[in-house]
């Protein structure tokens, strides 16, 4: 396929590289051009704007940090993206934003498929992301070669694109809840004199047997929060989006409010650029550790 890729950050760069390796023709745009330059060696063309990147492509992928960045990019390329072309939105954005994007593209005769991903940069590099997709069935079918190049599986959750964003935000809420609960439990065992690494081995053998607990639990046990696979400030953004979606759907989520305050406390400590597992430090600090 002839593709454009907008966003060459920690996630976007390895994703664009995997599309190139799968044989797709890819034009990349990144606001900071230097971050996209290494992709030239893999065969990417570089564009000077999202609008330029979108000319003549079958589909355009966005992988950006927040709603505003995605909407600004769309406003740049929506007039040059061909009728019948597809915007594949792989960013973690709000439900309301996803609905606006679907309407904007429909008005131009374009398709919009929301396809946010679960996985950190190492999974992106290994093409082992899990993709949650929603949108018109025929458009999703056309996108499958893209998904196959990027991930180990795809879950299609409906014909309305925003459904995929609701799933992604709900998943990130569960991860944040796990991080907070690990922080509290690790603080308790550490203050009681039990080795944190041993505690992790016990719970992940006897209780969870989960890659999430193994990976994030290891970071919490070692207090190793750099380099950030997913920055804490982005987790804070996602919790705000969870609360917005919950309010719109009239779903009480009291724990989301607690988690947002924990993230805010970490942000106030200047830890926004650490990995979001660093919220575990708040429980440790409050425990006098």
Helix (H, G, I), strand (E, B) or coil at 280: helix
Picking from 277, 286, 56, 79, the residue whose alpha carbon sits closest to that of residue 181 is 277
In the chain the beta strands, taken as DSSP E runs, fall at 2-6, 25-29, 45-46, 59-62, 86-89, 111-114, 117-118, 129-133, 151-156
- Told to judge if 168 belongs to the known catalytic residues of this protein, a careful annotator would answer yes
- CA 141 – CA 126 distance, rounded (Å): 23
Q: Distance between CA atoms of 251 and 228, rounded to whole angstroms?
A: 31
CA 221, CA 200: separation in Å to the nearest integer?
A: 7
Catalytic residue among 2, 99, 168, 237: 168
For β-strands 86-89 and 111-114, DSSP reports them as: parallel
Q: Annotated catalytic sites, by residue?
A: 168
């Amino acid at each position: 396929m002839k593709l454009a890729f907008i966003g060459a950050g920690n996630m976007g760069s390895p994703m664009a590289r995997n599309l190139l390796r799968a044989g797709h023709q890819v034009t990349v745009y990144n606001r900071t051009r230097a971050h996209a330059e290494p992709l030239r060696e893999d065969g990417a063309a570089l564009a000077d704007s999202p609008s330029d990147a979108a000319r003549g492509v079958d589909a355009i992928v966005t992988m950006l940090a927040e709603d505003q960045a995605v909407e600004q990019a769309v406003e740049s390329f929506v007039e040059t993206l061909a009728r019948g072309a597809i915007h594949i939105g792989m960013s973690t954005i709000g439900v309301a934003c996803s609905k606006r994007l679907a309407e904007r593209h429909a008005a131009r005769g374009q398709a919009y498929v929301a396809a946010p991903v679960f996985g950190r940069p190492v999974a992106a590099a290994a093409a082992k992301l899990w993709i949650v997709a929603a949108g018109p069935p025929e458009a999703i079918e056309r996108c499958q070669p893209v998904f196959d190049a990027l991930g180990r599986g795809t879950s299609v959750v409906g014909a309305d694109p925003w459904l995929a964003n609701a799933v992604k935000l709900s998943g990130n809420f569960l991860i944040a809840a796990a991080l907070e609960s690990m922080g509290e439990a690790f603080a308790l065992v550490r203050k009681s004199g039990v080795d944190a690494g041993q505690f992790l081995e016990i719970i992940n053998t006897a209780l969870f047997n989960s890659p999430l607990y193994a990976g994030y639990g290891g970071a919490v046990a070692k207090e190793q929060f750099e380099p950030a696979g997913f920055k804490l400030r982005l987790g804070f953004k996602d919790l705000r989006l969870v609360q917005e979606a919950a309010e719109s759907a009239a779903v009480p989520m009291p724990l989301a409010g607690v988690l947002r305050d924990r993230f805010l406390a970490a942000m106030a400590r200047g830890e926004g650029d650490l990995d979001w597992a660093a919220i575990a430090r708040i429980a440790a600090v409050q425990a006098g550790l």
